[in-house]
Structure 1
Amino acid sequence: MLGYRFTDYQPDPNQQGQSTFDQLLKIFMELMVITSGDVNETLQWMTSLDNQYNITNAEYGMGDFIQELKDKGYITDENAEGSFDPTAKTERSIRKSALEEIFGKLKKSGQGSHKTPHSGAGDEASTDRRDYQFGDSLEQIAMTDSIRNAQINHGLGNFTLTENDLEVNDTEFKTQTSTVLMIDISHSMILYGEDRITPAKKVAMALAELITTKYKKDTLDIIVFGNDAWQVQIKDLPYLKVGPYHTNTVAGLELAMDILRRRKTKNKQIFMITDGKPTCLKKGIKYYKNSFGLDSKILNKTLNLGAQCRRIGVPVTTFMIASDPYLKQFVQKFTEVNNGNAYYSSLKGLGNLIFEDYRRNRRKQFKQ
């Protein structure tokens, strides 16, 4: 029998014992993403919420919260207009909270955590042993095991240590990956009353925080695409806004390939978050646009670029935030010519899908 089971409300244990400021700060950070970093609009929303739901109390009001935000360096009003602006501390906090929300608490496993199925000339020690090979350093030699081998091979009476007796501590091969994350900021990302850009921004911030804190030798470049495509900095992610744009997937892929072409790493990949078909091309200074169905001119150009990415060894993983049959048909064609991956995701599951695919792709070396 299907139905609902009701239980007593249990407060979030993570919020128990938190100060009023910390509880309000969590709401503030969430709204900062939704308002694209507009501090004044965020505080107006919080004031409205306070009037309706009493999120503050008699001892600690919104004025106290705003003053504490200033005192702790989250916002500043030191500008000509006297309005509030976010600080670098706020940007870091937003990225950290996005990482924790989407990926959960990461366990400490040492700096790097570069896992591959291969051993090699890395500097991360493993528990495996192997025979000595010319070029191995003295520090790698496992002396205890090597001496034991000499005793077994030559006896105790005439102790001799030869090259064939030596064993070394193997090291794990460290991979490095260059990733370009493409984010669709066309108008359809907020169309029909559904906010798709906020989850996309959260994923981008979480991925940026993951790479910059856990995979420090990897690179992450972020580009947005609408009628055109351009690169944005990690610090600008909370402030991304959807524009009155069409979807120029070609421009996004061309810029992503140009960025990766300059990277020296062997592992390169593109992640593309989008909710719609390509609808735009740029020819000189003019745009060719068609929002109805799949335009063959735009589609063929997009598929050609997907095939070109495949030839240079750059897989494209597409995360489609939509379920329309004709959109799936486009993604299937694009994935086939690129030999990449595609996911048709709900907004709730988007973060976990990107995380898993990032970790899987970075563990192997793509052949060119």
Structure 2
Amino acid sequence: MTGYRYGRYVDGPDPLEPPADLRSAVDELGREVMEGASPESALRELLRRGVDGTTGLDDLTARVWRKRAAIQRRHRLDGTLQEVRRLLDEAVAAERRELFPDPDDDARFREAVLDALPPGTAAAVTELASYDWRSAQARESYEKIRGLLGRELLDQRFQGLKQAMETVTTEDVDRIRRMLDDLNGLLADHAAGRDTTERFAGFMRRHGDFFPENPRNTDELVDALAARSAAARRTMNSMTEEQRRELAELGSQAFGDPETARQLSTLDGLLQGLRPGEDWTGSARFRGDRPLGLGEGAQAMADLAELDALAEQLAQSYPGARLEDLDLGALVRQLGPAAGVDARRLAELERLLRNQNLLERAPDGTLQLTPKALRRLGETALRGVLDSVRARGNRDSARAGAAGEPTGATRPWAFGDTEPWNVPRTLTNAVLRTGGLGLDVVDVEVDETEQRARAAVALCVDTSWSMVQDGRWVPMKRTALALHHLISTRFRGDALDLVTFGRHARTVDIGELTALEGVWEQGTNLHHALLLAGRHLRRHPDARPVVLVVTDGEPTAHLEADGTADFSYPSTPRTLARTVAEVDALSRLGTALTVFKLGDDPRLAAFVDMIARRAGGKVVSPDEDGLGAAVVSDYLSSRRSRR
């Protein structure tokens, strides 16, 4: 029998992982944009917070900084010096035990030599370099010092060599020296601009086991070595002056021969010349109680550098930043596999938002929402508004626009519908569902028909600063999105114009209105807004004129003949007269005028009541949460009120 074994999927992203929820992400983006953020900053904010249970960049960054602080808080860099001191004390104690029972003068002379050793660790080790040990245990401990120093110096620059060289023979030392000599020759040729392709290949054949990174060419070899060498330099920079002096002196005892230290010093110089961009001068403050050896210290410094690079990548603050730039390998090394999964999900979300035509670059280089994204926002806004309408006891009509005339759109059949079937769409649905012509009720689509005359609608929204400071900015935008989506999808024959008015008024598209930022500006120029609304209505003489005004303040500005805005607070009789004159002009067109009054300003209440009576319109006073439902309900009722 064939057996099967199941385990964690390790070859890239989990294929069973649920896809990113784009709808939720677009809603989040839209909320940020409507509150005044640019799409660029809204996307950054979304990625920082995370979405749908995925850890955001802020949380990942916090984990990076916590790990960085933990490395410095737990460790100190004198581990090699402490171990050398321990081995030295062990060797001296063993030698004294060997000499103590011996009564001859040579034993007493040797004890005097040991008594006269300098207090410094490096000086004492150097002093004993030529000492003829009587104790085999003492000689072994002293040789361990030389082997330890050699391994630590190599581990500083060649990661993992210390563990691979727990025991070092004379042949090993000779091989290391040959490798260093060949390496320095290779790098010297590379620095001189010579072609090192063949020399590199021969070097890797002879010494490739020293380099688990498996570099493919000299440049990759230099990159790997320079990063480690720079970390070793920063380790030394982080020590005290006395510790650096001690280690420099001890270096000459590595493997019992100063040649190794000289070759490593030459290697460091070559690497610094080849990669001056590495951090060769940095340092860090370690304040813990766990000692690290030279190799471990270099690894700790390399980890700190990697964590710093990750923090910069996660901040996404540099020009052209993309989550695809994130070093996932480094993130997994430092924070674990779960962090890699979260980062991949965020990068995938960013990629989908860009690649599925939800975000695009404007001509000026800024990021903006696409029409597709705006449609999704409008659909969400309209759904919320219609839910509110139904909760208030109103019923949405499935019919749109002149009686009995098809709009060209279709929709799924629902119980009670009397519209004619759309046969092509119905049969297409059946074929797609079954592969044949097995017709079911779920396949049926009917033609939408218009029941009322087409309308020309002008939605005029107040964008003065009071709308921002009183929390009416986002409800106003959500209302415009909902109405725009309703008309563009259900009442396609209607013509909608969006007009904003502050000190001046202007016609905007839904994208501009969605991304509009609040600006401190005095003035509520309803006169100019109604002028633009009237111009829109006159362009559609065959349509029923509808004007919807959303405002929280009485008119305080009007447009002069030269195009300048005349502002005065409180409002002047001239501003009120010019505004009322434009209301009268709209009334003569047969316009259905509705004013949505926000707030409790008595002067505004008196003014809108007056113009409603004058124009045969009406005033609605919704709260901020009910604004969208009020506007959409009024629009629908205006269409039904007249055949």
TM over 0.5: yes
* 1-structure distance, mates of 2:621, 2:467: 15
Distance in 1 between residues matched to 2:362 and 2:556, nearest whole Å: 43
User: Structure 2 matches for 1:349-364, cutoff 5 A?
Assistant: 349-364=626-641
Matched, 1:319 2:596: yes
Quote the offset at 1:188 in angstroms: 1.8
Structure 1 or 2: more helix by fraction:
2
Match of 1:67 among 336, 339, 351: 351
Name the residue aligned to 1:29. 30
Equivalent of 1:101, from 384, 388, 391? 384
Counterpart CA distance in 2 for 1:49 and 1:354 is 33
Partner of 2:314: none
Number of positions where the alignment pairs a residue of Structure 1 with one of Structure 2: 296
Counterpart AA for 1:72: Q
Q: 1:328 aligns with which of 605, 615, 622?
A: 605
Say if 1:317 and 1:49 are closer, same or farther in 2 by CA, change over 3 A.
Answer: same
Check conservation: 1:185, 1:245, Cα contact below 8 A: no
Give the CA RMSD over aligned residues.
3.4
Query: Which amino acid in the other structure matches residue 228 of structure 1?
Result: H
**Native 8 Å contact 1:35 1:42 kept in 2:** no
**Distance in 2 separating the partners of 1:27 and 1:172:** 35
Q: 1:206: which partner in 2?
A: 482
Partner of residue 533, structure 2: 256
Is 1:87 aligned to 2:370, yes or no?
A: yes
Write the distance in 2 (CA, Å) between the matches of 1:113 and 1:78: 35
| CA distance 1:223–1:72, shift in 2 (3 Å) | same
* Aligned 8 A contact 1:103 1:206 in 2: no
| Maintained 8 Å contact 2:580/2:611 | yes
1:113 has 2:389 as partner? no
Give the unaligned 5+ runs of structure 2. Answer: 1-17, 57-337, 408-416, 419-448
Counterpart contact for 2:378–2:482, Cα < 8 Å: yes
CA contact (8 A) 1:278 1:298 kept: yes
Distance 1:282 1:172 in 2: 38
- TM-superposed deviation, 1:211: 0.7
Work out the CA distance in 1 between the residues paired with 2:22 and 2:587: 50
d(CA) in 1 for partners of 2:379, 2:545: 25
Distance 1:352 1:288 in 2: 34
In structure 2, do the counterparts of structure 1 residues 108 and 317 end up closer, same or farther at CA, with 3 Å as the change threshold? closer
Cα gap change, 1:32/1:174 in structure 2, threshold over 3 Å: closer, same or farther? same
Distance 2:372 2:541 in 1: 32
Q: TM-score, normalised by structure 2?
A: 0.42
Taking only the aligned residue pairs, the percentage that are identical comes to 23
Deviation larger for 171-180 or 353-362: 171-180
Other-structure match for 1:238: 514
* Greater relative contact order (CA < 8 Å, ≥ 6 in sequence): 1
Say if 1:257 and 1:71 are closer, same or farther in 2 by CA, change over 3 A: closer
Secondary structure of 2:612's aligned partner: helix
Cα distance change, pair 78–289 in 1 and its aligned pair in 2 (3 A): closer
**Following TM superposition, by how much is the alpha carbon of 1:342 offset from its aligned partner in structure 2, in angstroms?**
0.8
Tell me: CA distance 1:334–1:71, structure 2 relative to 1, closer, same or farther (3 Å): same
Q: Do the aligned residues in 1 keep the contact of 2:458 with 2:546 (CA within 8 Å)?
A: yes
Cα distance in 1 for residues equivalent to 2:624 and 2:593? 20
Query: What is the one-letter code of the residue matched to 1:311?
Result: R
Corresponding position of 1:46: 46
Question: SS at the partner of 1:362?
Answer: helix
1:227 CA drift (Å): 2.0
Is 2:547 the counterpart of 1:270?
yes
Deviates more, 1:320-329 or 1:201-210: 320-329
Structure ranking higher in strand proportion: 1
Question: What one-letter code is carried by the residue in structure 1 that aligns with 2:476?
Answer: A
The answer to whether the Cα contact below 8 Å between 1:20 and 1:60 also exists between their aligned partners in 2 is: no
Equivalence for 2:98: none
Q: Distance in 2 between matches of 1:65 and 1:43?
A: 10
- Once the two structures are superposed, residues 29-54 of structure 1 have per-residue CA deviations (whole angstroms, 9 ceiling, x without a partner) of 32122235x22211333345359x97
Structure label with greater radius of gyration = 2
Q: Distance in 2 between matches of 1:212 and 1:31?
A: 24
Once residues 113 and 344 of structure 1 are traced to their aligned partners in structure 2, the CA distance between those partners, rounded to angstroms, is: 27
Please, which moves more after superposition, 88-97 or 313-322?
88-97
**TM-aligned CA distance change 1:97 to 1:326, over 3 Å:** same
Aligned with 2:599: secondary structure? coil
Q: Which amino acid aligns with 1:237?
A: L
CA, structure 1 residues 67+206, in 2 after alignment: closer, same or farther (shift >3 Å)?
same
Distance in 1 separating the partners of 2:548 and 2:397: 26
Deviation at 1:263, TM superposition (A): 0.7
Partner of 1:11: none
The 3-state SS of whatever aligns with 1:221 is strand
* Counterpart residue identity of residue 376, structure 2: S
> Measured at CA, do residues 329 and 78 of structure 1 come closer, stay the same or move farther in structure 2, by a change above 3 Å?
closer
In structure 2, do the counterparts of structure 1 residues 108 and 207 end up closer, same or farther at CA, with 3 Å as the change threshold? closer
1:91 deviates by 2.2
Change (3 A) 1:287 1:74: closer
Matched with 2:556 is 279
Compared CA separation, residues 306 and 80, structure 1 to 2 (3 A) = closer
Determine whether 1:365 maps to 2:642: yes
Unaligned runs of 5+ in 1: 1-16, 128-170
Would you identify which runs of 4 or more consecutive aligned residues in structure 1 move more than 6 Å?
105-110
> What's the offset of the Cα at 1:66?
1.7
Residue 78 of structure 1, CA deviation: 8.6
